[in-house]
Structure 1
Amino acid sequence: MLIRELTEEDYLESMKLSEYAFQYKVPESDIPARLDRLRNHKVLGIWDEDTLAAKLHIYPLSIFMRDAEWKMGGIAGVATYPEYRRNGYVNTLMIDSLKRMRNNEQIVSLLHPFDISFYRKYGWEILTETKKITIEKKDLKFLEPQPGLIRRFSKETHNEEIEKVYQQYGTQFTGMLKRDSYWWKQHVYDEDSQMAVYYNPDKEAIGYILYQVKDKKMEVQELVALDHEARIGLWNFMCQHDSMVDKVTIQLTSQDPFPYFLKQPNVKIELHPYFMARVVDAEECLRRFPFLHENESLFLHLEDSHAAWNNGSYLLNMGELKVFKEKTGGQCVHPPKKGIHLTINSLSAILFGYKRPMELFEMGYLKGSKLEIELFEKMVPILKSAFIDFF
């Protein structure tokens, strides 16, 4: 089974497969721009003679792990024509993508799942939830006036101030995408998007909403606020639309305090799992992770059924990491049996802050003594995962 990276001559075939698999049609006028975007991807394909049978895209991106940046491979566009399904093509592409991402130093990977259980088999785990709240017109009640002001922008007038607000916000979390200006213009804004930015009295941009108003509905696609002043100022701006809309929907990170502080917090709230994440290179991730170093050591025995290089035992020892892996044709020092046994899924959930070690232990996902789990709980800082983009 031959995997080949697509060249520009193959991009039209890739687009046709996407159209068939995901049931949409690219307008003729949009085809050149669509094909041009593929230059920023690595597209892997499996061919049947001259026919592209299956494909997978890898976006070369980076994410914030709080104030650090990690290279990330974004998986997207996984598709197969029906006549080639159940032949193991996607399985082959997924495993090959892990090898290529590791070789490219993309130490973690994110994707948006069509089915969570499918990607869990390959080691990806839930990264975060998205929270959508729906507010009826009658509940658009102003809060106390704020001293700042709102200015509106569009895709054409987008500026660096907005990007700085997002970056400051993103470094509060694990998993948030590092955006450049190209990403903002190509992937964040759409034709109907508007941007309302809140400035404090010192004329500093400290929050924004990306939104649309149409058909008597205001849809807030992003709300980013660096403090509560900005959050209230942006809420009051939404309330200013009370003569124009019948309802407001807001997409939020799951940790956002909306709607607790509203006059009427009893609103419709929908919480859904969103993106998934995976550790691609466990050794590198464990070296970079900001463990809180206790005066004790702890062994992690890791199992990864699709990335063999991650299998092994890792000793966390007061700021140092020692690795024990099986060697072929040589003698290997074996670690003790004590320690925590876990899969790559559980390690991914812990390092991104989606689940705590004790939570996973109580659900049976971590194996070890209660004392070892309690120590691991102390060593892992409390983190908040989030992701508000799409690819």
Structure 2
Amino acid sequence: MMIRKLEERDFLESIKLSMYAFQYTVPDAEIPKRKEMLKEHQILGIWEKEKLSAKLHILNLKIWLGDTQWDMGGIAGVATYPEYRRKGYVKILIQEALKEMKRSGQHFSFLHPFDISFYRHFGWEIISEYKKVTIPKNDLQFMEASSAGRVERFSKATHTEDLEAVYNRFAAGFSCMLVRDAQWWVDHVYGDLTAAVLYNGSGKPQGYLLYKIKDRVMDVKEFVSLDRETRIQLWNFICQHDSMIDQANFTLSVHDSFPYYLKQPKQRIEHTPYFMGRIVDARAVLKKYPFRETGKQVFLHVSDEYAGWNAGTYLLKDGEITYFEAREGSHCTHPPKKGLHLNINTLSSILLGNKRPMEVYEMGYIAGSKAEVLALEEKIPQAKSFFYDFF
């Protein structure tokens, strides 16, 4: 068994493994394009007798935490041929990927889990959830708009920077949103979707929809608005499709007030955990993180079984982070009484904005005094996590 990064000559083997494991087919005509896209990935592979038996992709991406960009390693394409499964190959690849991401200066790592409990074991935690709202045709009732606006439709072939501008302003109101450049929009966002951009009376883009209509169902994949009036006008645009559809589906942040403000807000809503994330380099993250200055200090005793460099004690003061290395393994031999004890999963969930310190404390994920938890609570900025993308 040998571990090495895949080179360009190995890309076809990577594509074949993905097709087998994820049960899809890439037409021969699209193979060159797939190979070109793989040049942007770091692919770690395990080889048995010169045959690729397992692999893992790292995507070099960035996320927003408020208005600040952070480096993120996206984990994707984790696959193993059946004859090589249950040999611990994925575990080996994950450990190598964490080392590689730390060397590359990536602060966080995100992934879409096939099994949440599996990746929790390796330090990832749920950092984004979404809700899917289903609205029947009879409840597509227009709302009164107080100003005039116009909608323009775009596609992958006619992509506009106005869409990017709205998304970036929207993303600044959340944590965890992906930083998208124009190429990401074209390669990974549009697919077969139509974009409808809402321009206000001054001609400024203020919101958009990404949607498709098939079999009399309108599937709204992204519903983004920067103010209440834009939200109403985008809703009215959807209602204009009432002769074409029997139902509209919406994918939204769990923090979105939709459908509360509709004339008929009683609708079917499904709430689903979505993406997972973890801290790759705790010292780098804690030094950069925008903690509030409260005049208080907090000790954090952090455990991390699969990225041992994160394990240890961190003293959080106003404008200062001090690290004390864990001397034996990833856990303290004699846990100190002062301070909060938590694992990397819980710390990741807090810093990325999905859970508050008191919330996870009450669930039993933090050990320590309530007073110290409240001190940490004061230091953590209010944030709402959300992630619209997929990889």
**TM-score range, shorter-chain basis?**
over 0.9
Native 8 Å contact 1:95 1:306 kept in 2: yes
Native 8 Å contact 1:132 1:270 kept in 2: yes
Q: CA deviation at 1:336?
A: 5.7
Is there any run of 5+ residues in structure 1 with no aligned partner, and where?
Answer: 329-333
Amino acid at match of 1:152: R
1:144-155 correspondence runs (5 A)? 144-145=144-145, 146-155=147-156
Alignment-derived partner of residue 157 in structure 2: 156
- The CA distance in 2 between the partners of 1:37 and 1:232, in whole Å, is 39
**Residue 206 in structure 1 maps to residue 206 in structure 2:** yes
Amino acid at match of 1:348: S
1:1-391 correspondence runs (5 A)? 1-145=1-145, 146-190=147-191, 192-326=192-326, 337-391=337-391
The number of residue pairs the alignment matches comes to 385
Q: CA deviation at 1:161?
A: 1.1
- The CA distance in 1 between the partners of 2:190 and 2:370, in whole Å, is 48
Q: CA deviation at 1:327?
A: 6.0
Moved over 6 A (4+): none
- The CA distance in 1 between the partners of 2:284 and 2:335, in whole Å, is 19
- The CA distance in 1 between the partners of 2:53 and 2:157, in whole Å, is 39
- The CA distance in 1 between the partners of 2:118 and 2:335, in whole Å, is 33
- The CA distance in 2 between the partners of 1:176 and 1:169, in whole Å, is 9
- The CA distance in 2 between the partners of 1:275 and 1:55, in whole Å, is 20
TM-score by length of 2: 0.96
- The CA distance in 2 between the partners of 1:296 and 1:377, in whole Å, is 11
Amino acid at match of 2:369: S
Alignment-derived partner of residue 331 in structure 1: none
* SS at structure 2 position matched to 1:138: helix
- The CA distance in 2 between the partners of 1:25 and 1:336, in whole Å, is 55
Native 8 Å contact 2:132 2:249 kept in 1: yes
* SS at structure 1 position matched to 2:382: coil
- The CA distance in 1 between the partners of 2:56 and 2:197, in whole Å, is 37
Native 8 Å contact 2:313 2:326 kept in 1: no
* SS at structure 2 position matched to 1:386: coil
Amino acid at match of 1:173: F
The CA deviation string for residues 257-296 of structure 1, in whole angstroms up to 9 with x for no partner, is: 1100000001111110000010000011111111112112
- The CA distance in 2 between the partners of 1:12 and 1:223, in whole Å, is 37
- The CA distance in 2 between the partners of 1:349 and 1:273, in whole Å, is 13
Aligned-pair identity (%): 55
Q: CA deviation at 1:81?
A: 0.5
Q: CA deviation at 1:217?
A: 1.1
Native 8 Å contact 1:311 1:325 kept in 2: yes
Amino acid at match of 2:251: Q
The CA deviation string for residues 193-245 of structure 1, in whole angstroms up to 9 with x for no partner, is: 11111111111001000111121111111111111111111000000000011
- The CA distance in 2 between the partners of 1:212 and 1:138, in whole Å, is 20
- The CA distance in 2 between the partners of 1:80 and 1:18, in whole Å, is 9
Q: CA deviation at 1:335?
A: 10
Amino acid at match of 2:154: F
Q: CA deviation at 1:116?
A: 0.1
The CA deviation string for residues 100-141 of structure 1, in whole angstroms up to 9 with x for no partner, is: 000000110000000000000000000111111111000000
Native 8 Å contact 1:198 1:207 kept in 2: yes
- The CA distance in 2 between the partners of 1:153 and 1:22, in whole Å, is 31
Native 8 Å contact 1:313 1:335 kept in 2: no
- The CA distance in 1 between the partners of 2:35 and 2:11, in whole Å, is 6
